[in-house]
């Protein structure tokens, strides 16, 4: 009895000492530049993955675009105080819960291959980098599905599925760098496989979702909760983090062939493109249309005519062969000139790099991405030409087919930020095209902090719906703020900037 009392008393004292020691530890950490919050995070995420290193924060505070720094750097909120890398759903959930408890702003980040500051902090706080969540949990050959962490790189997933004779139904052309969660958070409407097998939304069976308060929910196609899969796809992380996904997959095909034709006029090229795209029986795995400038800047030798349509067919050998025959017949009717096979093979092999190779020509590669309906491709192109033909800067046009009647158009400007007149002049041209595109019921393809104001201006109803949902799920507005529902950039400021830019950057 005495012994047990002593032991009990000793335990109590020991606990008190531990408590005091912990408090001391917390204080020490605070003195060392870490906060109580940091220390509490390190209780469940190993310390190498909880960083307050200023260099790491700098490296993580951005995506392809550096614009956020220049647009609001004076507020110093483009930088976080922490970068944290959870390793699984449980860690992610606890982390979100802790951020919620501390009212700590959160920026969700995967590979950062989107643009327009989609993964840039806007209120400081914590960057949650999900790239450590990269495991494949289950490959189900019978039901043709895969369950994996959402931070997995597409390339890794493709290679793991390959071992089982399977492949994702669709994935982005940036698959060498990008992640599954990023494709979900953006929109998953364009890429390899979308025409043939459907867009990401069609392949997505369910997600494990972590809400801003840290609660976790599995959301499937028939879920009846606050959030649906439709809400999550393309939501740019404003409702929380996608932790795991279940995707339908497809089997490896046994043949693949590429066709490519160049045309003298945009009209013929667009017609050929549309015919291949809308042929019900012969859907290409990948389809693109580019102008001569694009091919020239991307390659040393390139097709001779002004427009180039490229399609890849993949299926059983007989089907592929039929598809290619159909494409050949259609091309000959439209006076298309066949492009050499080596060029097509190379283009397919390096499909991820093609659009980035333009960066070899310049100090700063500027681009803007649009979502343009099939019917409007020609008008869009004509407006683009009207705007750029008067400009001196080097430009290029690249269109990739999406499904469901839409396409991603990418416009490039080869420039140098040091030549600020030209740099902002190009941006001003893009601004004009963006407004024109929205006025014709089309939109931007990628949205981020620096271009959300376009979405708000032209999609007030959709924005109101998203805002209501955001208020419900994230009343403190902590997670991925200033995307879709609220703009960081002031339209008048941007408008003024471009108005001045147009006047300073005189056309040729």
Footprint on residues 297-336 left by other proteins (CB under 8 A): 297-301, 314
Among 4, 31, 74, 163, which residue sits at the site for other proteins (rule: CB under 8 A)?
Answer: 163
In whole angstroms, give the CA distance from residue 186 to residue 117.
12
Out of 40, 42, 58, 217, name the contact with other proteins by CB under 8 A.
Answer: 58
Question: Which of 112, 121, 237, 413 forms a contact with other proteins (CB under 8 A)?
Answer: 112
* Spatial CB neighbours of 139, under 8 Å, sequence gap ≥ 6: 146, 160, 161, 164, 166, 249
CA distance 493 to 497: 6
**Quick check: 253 binds other proteins (CB under 8 A)?**
yes
Map residues 364-383 to x or -, x wherever contact with other proteins holds by CB under 8 A: xx------------------
* CA distance readout (Å), 384 to 150, 279, 368, 429, 439: 37, 27, 12, 9, 14
State which of positions 459-488 bind other proteins (CB under 8 A): none
Using the minimum distance from each CB to other proteins, give the nearer residue, 81 or 253.
253
Q: Are 38 and 102 in contact (CB under 8 A)?
A: no
Establish if 389 lies at the interface with other proteins (CB under 8 A). Answer: no
Total binding residues for other proteins by CB under 8 A?
75
Instruction: Please identify, among the stretches 6-14, 98-106, 346-354, 443-451, the one whose residues bind other proteins according to the rule CB under 8 A.
Output: 346-354
Site for other proteins in 255-274 (CB under 8 A): 255-256
Read off φ and ψ for residue 204, nearest 5 degrees. Answer: -75, 115
Residue 117 makes contact with other proteins by CB under 8 A: no
Contact 397, 270 (CB under 8 A): no
CB of 225 to other proteins, least distance (A): 31
The secondary element (H helix, E strand) that includes residue 171 is none
Give CA–CA dist 340/346, Å, rounded: 10
Nearest approach, Cβ of 49 to other proteins (angstroms)? Answer: 7
Question: Which of 37, 116, 175, 209 is close enough to bind other proteins by CB under 8 A?
Answer: 175
Q: Which is nearer to other proteins, 257 or 442 (CB)?
A: 257
| Residues 6+ positions from 340 with CB-CB distance below 8 Å | none
Which residue pairs from 472-476 have beta carbons closer than 8 angstroms and sit at least 24 positions apart in sequence? 472/226, 473/211, 473/212, 473/226, 473/227, 473/239, 473/240, 474/211, 474/212, 474/238, 474/239, 474/240, 476/100, 476/103, 476/212
Question: Whose structure tokens read 């450590």?
Answer: 132
Q: Which of 56, 248, 374, 432 binds other proteins (CB under 8 A)?
A: 56
294 or 458: CB nearest other proteins: 294
- Measured in whole angstroms, the distance separating CA 13 from the mean position of its chain's CA atoms is 54
Binder to other proteins among 129, 149, 213, 369 (CB under 8 A)? 129
Q: Is 250 in the site for other proteins (CB under 8 A)?
A: yes
Smallest distance from the beta carbon of 251 to other proteins, in angstroms?
A: 8
Residue from the set 118, 167, 203, 479 that interacts with other proteins by CB under 8 A: 167
């Amino acid at each position: 009895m005495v012994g047990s009392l002593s032991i009990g008393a000793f335990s109590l004292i020991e606990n008190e000492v531990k408590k005091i020691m912990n408090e001391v530890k917390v204080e020490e950490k605070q003195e060392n530049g870490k906060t109580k919050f940091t220390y509490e995070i390190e209780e469940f995420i190993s310390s190498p993955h909880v960083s307050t290193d200023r260099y790491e924060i700098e490296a993580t505070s951005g995506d392809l675009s550096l614009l956020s720094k220049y647009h609001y750097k004076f507020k110093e909120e483009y930088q976080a105080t922490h970068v944290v890398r959870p390793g699984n759903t449980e860690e992610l959930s606890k982390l979100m819960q802790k951020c919620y408890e501390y009212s700590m702003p959160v920026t969700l980040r995967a590979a950062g291959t989107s643009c327009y500051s989609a993964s840039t902090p806007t209120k400081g706080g914590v960057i949650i980098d999900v790239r450590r969540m990269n495991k494949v949990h289950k490959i189900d050959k019978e039901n043709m599905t895969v369950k994996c962490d959402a931070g997995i790189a597409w390339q890794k997933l493709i290679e793991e599925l390959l071992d089982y004779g399977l492949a994702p139904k669709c994935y982005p052309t940036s698959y060498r760098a990008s992640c599954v969660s990023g494709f979900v958070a953006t929109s998953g409407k364009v890429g390899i496989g979308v025409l043939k097998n459907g867009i990401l939304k069609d392949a997505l069976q369910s997600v494990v979702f972590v809400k801003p308060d840290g609660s976790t929910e599995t959301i499937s196609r028939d879920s009846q909760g606050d959030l649906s899969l439709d809400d999550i796809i393309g939501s740019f992380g404003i409702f929380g983090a996608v932790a795991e996904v279940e995707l339908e997959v497809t089997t490896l095909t046994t043949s693949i062939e590429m066709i490519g034709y160049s045309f003298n006029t945009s009209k013929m090229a667009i017609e050929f493109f549309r015919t291949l795209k809308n042929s019900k029986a012969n859907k290409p795995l990948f389809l693109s249309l580019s102008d001569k400038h694009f091919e020239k800047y991307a390659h040393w030798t390139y097709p001779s005519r002004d427009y180039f349509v490229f399609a890849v067919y993949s299926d059983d050998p007989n089907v592929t062969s039929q598809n290619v025959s159909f494409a050949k017949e259609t091309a000959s009717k439209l006076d298309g000139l066949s492009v050499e096979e080596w060029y097509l093979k190379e283009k397919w092999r390096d499909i991820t790099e093609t659009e980035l190779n333009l960066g070899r020509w310049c100090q700063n590669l500027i681009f803007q991405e649009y979502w343009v309906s099939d019917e409007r491709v020609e008008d869009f192109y004509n407006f683009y030409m009207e705007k750029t033909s008067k400009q001196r800067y080097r430009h290029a046009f690249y269109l990739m087919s999406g499904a469901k009647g839409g396409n991603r158009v990418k416009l490039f400007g080869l420039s140098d930020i040091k030549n600020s007149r030209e740099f902002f002049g190009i941006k001003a041209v893009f601004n004009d095209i963006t407004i024109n595109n929205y006025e014709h019921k089309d939109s931007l393809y990628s949205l981020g902090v620096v271009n959300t104001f376009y979405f708000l201006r032209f999609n007030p109803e959709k924005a109101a719906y998203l805002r209501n949902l955001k208020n419900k799920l994230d009343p403190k507005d902590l997670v991925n703020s200033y995307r879709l529902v609220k703009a960081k950039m002031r339209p008048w400021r941007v408008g003024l900037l471009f108005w001045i830019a147009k006047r300073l950057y005189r056309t040729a």
